[in-house]
Structure formats: structure tokens, C-alpha cells
Amino acid sequence: MLAAMTDSPPEQPPITREETAGLPAAIAADLLEAGACLAFGAHRAAALLGRRAVEQVVVMRRVPLEMKTLHQKLVWLLQAGHLPRNLAGHARTVGDVGTAAAHGGEALSRVEAHAMVVSSLAVARGVLAPGD
């Protein structure tokens, strides 16, 4: 069984070190690992690591504790001006797929996991490295 798993190389991760440059090390590491998980077909793991990266952004921006759900936290980042409005679609993807990964019972598709990883990077960069 192990041989079958390693017969074909994984796809290239959707995130590069260059794209995470300038982000805090822990967030960059989570995003890069999320990309690696996606490349190996670990879709839920990829989405959960993307969510964790965004949750770290939330803590860094001191989102009020009253904001309990991921959706509430992302809306607060948008309304407070920390996340540019043009990234609202990425925030919606992070909220929807991140919640499904953490609380849903169904498997995530590769398309959903890919969207989550890319959107998590967009949200992190949008909040922590605006204008880059």
C-alpha cells in the first residue's frame, strides 16, 4: 500500500515562500504547510491549517472577544478597515470552508481546499502586509 501512495509525486503546493515573505513566521509556516497538505491530497488538513493561520491574524489584530465565530471575526476585520473590501470574497471563502473543515462531517474537495489555502494567504497578506 505504501508503494502505491508514493508512485506519483505530489502536485506543486499553491503557495511559495516568496508569497509568505513578510508575514510572521508562525503564520507563514502554517500557510506553507497547508499548501503541502493540499499537494499531498490532505484536503481537510490544508483547510484547517489555513484557518489556523487566519485565526492568528485575528489575534494579532485584537479582534474583540465578543466576536465568537470565524464569520464574525472576518466581518469585524472588514468593518474595522483591517482587511481591504476587495478581499471580501476571500474572507467569505475562509469563513465558509474553514467552518466546514472544522465542524462539517463531509470530506472537502480539492477545489474547496485549494480555494481555502489561497484565500487564507490573501486574508493574511491583506491584513498584515497591505499594499504588497
| CA angle, 29 then 35 then 38, to 5° | 140
16 located within any domain: no
Please give the residue range of the domain that contains residue 34: 22-128
Q: How far apart are alpha carbons 53 and 49 in whole angstroms?
A: 6
Q: Is residue 5 part of a domain?
A: no
**Residue 119 falls within a domain, yes or no?**
yes
Q: Count structural domains, the chain.
A: 1
Evaluate the CA torsion angle 87, 83, 63, 16 in order and state its sign. positive
Q: Where does the pLDDT of residue 2 fall: very low under 50, low under 70, confident under 90, or very high at 90 and above?
A: very low
Q: What CATH number does the domain containing 56 carry?
A: 1.20.120
Averaged over 106-130, what is the pLDDT? 94
Cell numbers at residue 85, please? 473590501
Would you say residue 68 lies in a domain? Answer: yes
> What is the reported pLDDT for 14?
82
Confidence tier at 132 by pLDDT (50, 70, 90): low
Is 87 inside any structural domain?
Answer: yes
